[in-house]
Structure 1
Amino acid sequence: MAAVIPAVTKISSRIIRILGCNPGMMTLQGTNTYIVGTGKRRILIDTGDASVPQYINHLKTVLDFEGIDLAHIFITHWHHDHIGGLTDILEDIRDKTKHCQIWKYPGAKDNISEKSSIESLKDGQEFSVEGATLRVLHTPGHTDDHVVFHLLEDNAVFSGDCILGEGTAVFEDLYNYMNSLEQIANIHPSIIFPGHGNIIQTPVEKIQFYINHRMERERQIMDVLNNNSSKTFKERDLVRLIYTDIPENLVTAAESNVNHHLSKLSKEGRVRTSEDRWQTNEI
C-alpha cells in the first residue's frame, strides 16, 4: 500500500509539496503541486483541479505562513487536474499572484483565446528565483505539450505525468513518450518529484523499469508478427494472442495499448498496415 501523502509537506528548504486534494482512479491520492525556491518570490508547479476549496486553502495558508508570493506558475501540461485550479488561484489568492507570470508549453489542445495571458515555455529555457534554477525540458508523449522541470541545484526533476510515483503512465504517442523517457534518463536525476504519487528516490531504476515495461510488450507484438510473417493481424487478434485470459471489459483498453505500440513501430519502419491490418516489415 502506498504511503499516505500529507496535504502539505516541506520536502526541503527549497521545495514544498501541496497535494491537490483531488483523489481518483487517474490522479491517485491527488495531483502533487510544488512551490520551489527559498526567497520571497517563488515558483508554483501545477495548480490542481478546478473548484477544490480545500487545495486553495492549503496553498493560501502556506503562502501566508512562509511570507511569500508567486513570481511564476508553471503548468506541466493541459490536463484538467494540472491546469484546472489556475483560475481559482488567480481569483482567490490575488494578493499573492498579482505580479505572477503564467507559463505553459504550447499544445494542440490549447484554447488561445481563453489562455491569452499564458506565456509560452520553450525547450531548454531557464528560470531563476532565489535558491532555485529550473530548466524546461519538452517531453511529449503523455500529451504533446508535456514538459518536465529540471531543478539544477538538486539535480531533481519535476516529472508531471511523464513518470509517476505509483504504477505506469498513460500516453497519447508512445514513440514520443519513449524518446522523452530517454531524455530524462540522460539527465541522470538524483530524485524525481512526480505529478502523482510519492517521491521517487531511485529515479534511474524507475525510468529503466518504464522503458523495459514498454519494450517487453513491443517484443511480444513483434514476436507474433515475425513468427507469422505472411499473415496480417487486426489489433484485437494481437490482443487475444498476447494478453492471455484478459477479461472482456479490458479488451478495448488493451487494443488501444497495442495500437500505440504499432504506431510507434510503424514510425520506426518495423511494421506496415493496410486496411486496419498489420504485418511485419522486418522479414
Structure 2
Amino acid sequence: MTEASGLPGHPRVGMIDGPATERAECVLAPNPSPMTLDGTNTWILAEPGSEQAVIVDPGPLHEGHLRKVVERVESAGRRVALTLLTHGHHDHAEGASRFAELTGSPVRALDPALRLGDEGLAPGRTITVGGLELRVVSTPGHTGDSLSFQLPADRSVLTGDTVLGRGTTMVAHPDGDLGDYLDSLRRLRSLTVDDGVTTVLPGHGPVLQDAQGAVDYYLVHRAKRLAQVETAVEDGCRTAQEVVARVYADVDRALWPAATQSVRAQLDYLRDHGLI
C-alpha cells in the first residue's frame, strides 16, 4: 500500500503484465487505487523447463483475476505447487483461500492465521520447488508479518509492499514499526551489495532495475520525512493530523489517512529514541 505515489528519485520501467525476468511473470490484478497504484502484482515463479510454479500474492478475492493466474500457469504447461504471501493485507492475501481451492496448492505465510497447510515461512529458510530456489527474507515494518523473497538465479527480490515500483510505502501503525522498517531496508540493501541483487519485483508498480538505487532512495526519503516530522513537533504540531497537514502538504489528500499511519509510527520512533 502506497503512502505517496508519483515521487521521483529511483529508476523504473513501464508497467508489466507478463514476463519480467527469466523466472518471474507478473499478472496485474484489476484493483487500481491511490493505495494500490495500478493494482496488485501477482507473481508466477518457475524454473525454466519445470512443470511446477510458485505463486506469490494471489491478490484480492477477484474470481476473474484468480482464474487468469491459473490459466497463465497452465498455458505454460505447469501446475501451481505452492502459494506464498508477502503479508496479510487484503489486496495481497484475500484471494488466497479461493486460489487454494482452484489449484489445490498449500498457502504459506509468516502469520499462522493466513496459512493453509502445515508449513509456515521462517526467515532465512530456502524454499525449493521444481528446481526453483527462493530465500525467505525477514522485512517487517510495513506490517509486522512482512516478508520478501530473494530469487538468486535472477538476481532479484520480491518485496511485497516493503519497496514499491513507484512512490513510497506506508508504515501501517500500530502493526507496522518504523525502526523495524529501517532495519528491513538496510537488510535489502545488503542483498544488493553482498548477494548481487539488481532487480526489485514489487507488490505494486513497475519492476525496478536498480535495486540498490531504489533502496537508497527509500532510506534517504525516510530520513528526510523523519526530520520534517521532528521539526513540525518542535514548531508546535501536537497531533498526527497536524503533522500530516504540514509535512505531507505536497501529497494527494486521498493518501493522508495512510500518511497519518506513517506519522504515528514516526512519532513513536522519535519518542522511543528520546528525540521529542
TM-score range, shorter chain: 0.7 to 0.9
Partners of 1:25 and 1:168 lie apart in 2 by 12
Partner of 2:67: 57
Structure that is richer in strand per residue: 1
User: What is the Cα deviation at residue 26 of structure 1?
Assistant: 1.3
**Which has the higher relative contact order, 1 or 2, with Cα contacts under 8 A spaced 6 or more apart?**
2
Partners of 2:45 and 2:54 lie apart in 1 by 5
- CA-to-aligned-CA distance 1:18-75 (integer Å, 9 cap, x gap): 112222221111111111122111211111100x232123212212211111221101
- CA-to-aligned-CA distance 1:133-153 (integer Å, 9 cap, x gap): 100011111110010000111
* C-alpha distance 118-168 of structure 1, shift in aligned 2 (>3 A): farther
Paired amino acid for 1:26: M
Partner of 1:103: 108
Partners of 1:165 and 1:124 lie apart in 2 by 24
Partner of 1:205: 213
Q: Does the residue aligned with 1:119 lie in a helix, a strand or coil?
A: coil
Contact kept, 8 Å, 1:139 with 1:146, in 2: the verdict is yes
Contact kept, 8 Å, 2:158 with 2:202, in 1: the verdict is yes
* C-alpha distance 25-248 of structure 1, shift in aligned 2 (>3 A): closer
State whether structure 2 residue 203 is matched by structure 1 residue 192. Answer: no
User: What is the Cα deviation at residue 14 of structure 1?
Assistant: 1.6
Partners of 1:157 and 1:46 lie apart in 2 by 14
Q: Does the residue aligned with 1:163 lie in a helix, a strand or coil?
A: coil
Partner of 2:9: none
Gaps of 5+ in 2: 1-5, 7-11
2:59 paired residue among 48, 54, 58: 48
Query: In terms of Rg, which structure is larger?
Result: 1
* C-alpha distance 234-15 of structure 1, shift in aligned 2 (>3 A): same
- CA-to-aligned-CA distance 1:193-250 (integer Å, 9 cap, x gap): 0000110011111111111111112223444667x7xxx7623565566566999998
Contact kept, 8 Å, 1:151 with 1:157, in 2: the verdict is yes
* C-alpha distance 266-58 of structure 1, shift in aligned 2 (>3 A): same
User: What is the Cα deviation at residue 257 of structure 1?
Assistant: 3.6
Partner of 1:179: 183
Partner of 2:29: 20
State whether structure 2 residue 276 is matched by structure 1 residue 266. Answer: no
244-253 or 57-66, which moves further after superposition?
Answer: 244-253
Q: What TM-score does the superposition give when structure 2 sets the normalisation length? A: 0.81
State whether structure 2 residue 78 is matched by structure 1 residue 68. Answer: yes
Q: What TM-score does the superposition give when structure 1 sets the normalisation length? A: 0.79
* C-alpha distance 49-270 of structure 1, shift in aligned 2 (>3 A): same
* C-alpha distance 198-219 of structure 1, shift in aligned 2 (>3 A): same
Aligned residues: 255
Paired amino acid for 1:16: E
Q: Does the residue aligned with 1:10 lie in a helix, a strand or coil?
A: coil
Partner of 1:77: 87
Paired amino acid for 1:136: V
2:45 paired residue among 20, 27, 36: 36
Paired amino acid for 2:146: H
